[in-house]
Amino acid sequence: MTEKQEKTFGPEGSNPNPEIYEGIKNNESSPLESAYQAGAGASIYASNREAFSNMFNQLTSATVNLINKRKDPKAVADRLEKRVERRNDRAYKKGKATKTRTVDLGPNPLDPSSSSDRKISVTIKGDAKRDKFDSKTNKIKGRLVEAKEKARQVREQKIKDAAAMRGTKTPQQKALDKEAEISATYELRNPGKKYSNLTDKEKEKFMFNNRFTQLKPE
């Protein structure tokens, strides 16, 4: 027993506790080492260090996954698209929007030789609050177009990478893959039988009948 323990839990200590005091004397170990003892009965509780460690690891992993998903181009595009839809749904609450339309004036009655296709653009001014709201929505739409283009590029790159990976296999690897595919097909259609037990003639016949080859067996 240390001097500090004696002065804390002993009969004349600052926090006398007979149960802990006797427990330390008998076991010659601190109740704070890897476990602690309750007052009555001196019950020992197992350490929960590992449980807390697992919990924080799971929280960290979930946070990292969430951040990565928010950075994914397709996820960004989907999020911006939903945001634009929500803004369009509540735009009417901001007042009337500024609109521009084309008006056809027709031929000039004072000049019969003038073109009959006389068109002008007329702008009907809306509420300033709505104009400001629509301006921000248009900026978000611009970001949406960029995000969709980036998502398309990423998707096409993944397709190219997958094709490149398939093309890096050696002829031997391709032959082994083909053999495995034929074997799996035979054993699926013939439960309890092994493709490897067939004779060469039987294999050739099976491959021809199931269109794995165009060469008809002799």
Backbone φ and ψ of 44, nearest 5°: -105, 130
Domain count, the chain: 3
Backbone φ and ψ of 104, nearest 5°: -95, 115
Quick one: pLDDT at residue 124?
A: 87
Are 163 and 175 in a shared domain?
no
Are 140 and 155 in a shared domain?
yes
Assess if residue 60 is contained within a domain.
Answer: no
Are 137 and 96 in a shared domain?
yes
Quick one: pLDDT at residue 25?
A: 67
Cβ–Cβ < 8 Å for 15, 39: no
Assess if residue 146 is contained within a domain.
Answer: yes
Distances (CA, A) of 191 to 98, 113, 148, 204: 73, 90, 49, 19
Query: What residue type is 185 in one-letter code?
Result: T
Helical H segments across the chain, by residue range: 3-9, 18-27, 49-71, 73-90, 128-167, 171-189, 200-209
Q: With CA atoms as reference, report the closest residue to 193 among 201, 205, 184.
A: 184
pTM higher than 0.75 = no
Query: What value, to the nearest 5°, has the Cα angle with vertex 181 and ends 179 and 182?
Result: 65
DSSP tally for the chain: helices H, then strands E: 7, 2
User: How far apart are alpha carbons 218 and 205 in whole angstroms?
Assistant: 9
Q: 7-49 pLDDT, tens per residue?
A: 676 777 776 767 666 766 666 555 455 444 455 555 555 667 8
Quick one: pLDDT at residue 35?
A: 47
Are 162 and 175 in a shared domain?
no
Are 155 and 176 in a shared domain?
no
Give the residue ranges of the chain where pLDDT is below 70: 1, 5, 7, 9, 15, 17, 19-21, 23-47, 112-117, 166-168, 214-218
User: How far apart are alpha carbons 8 and 21 in whole angstroms?
Assistant: 9
CB neighbours of 185 closer than 8 A, spacing ≥ 6?
Answer: 210, 212
Assess if residue 39 is contained within a domain.
Answer: yes
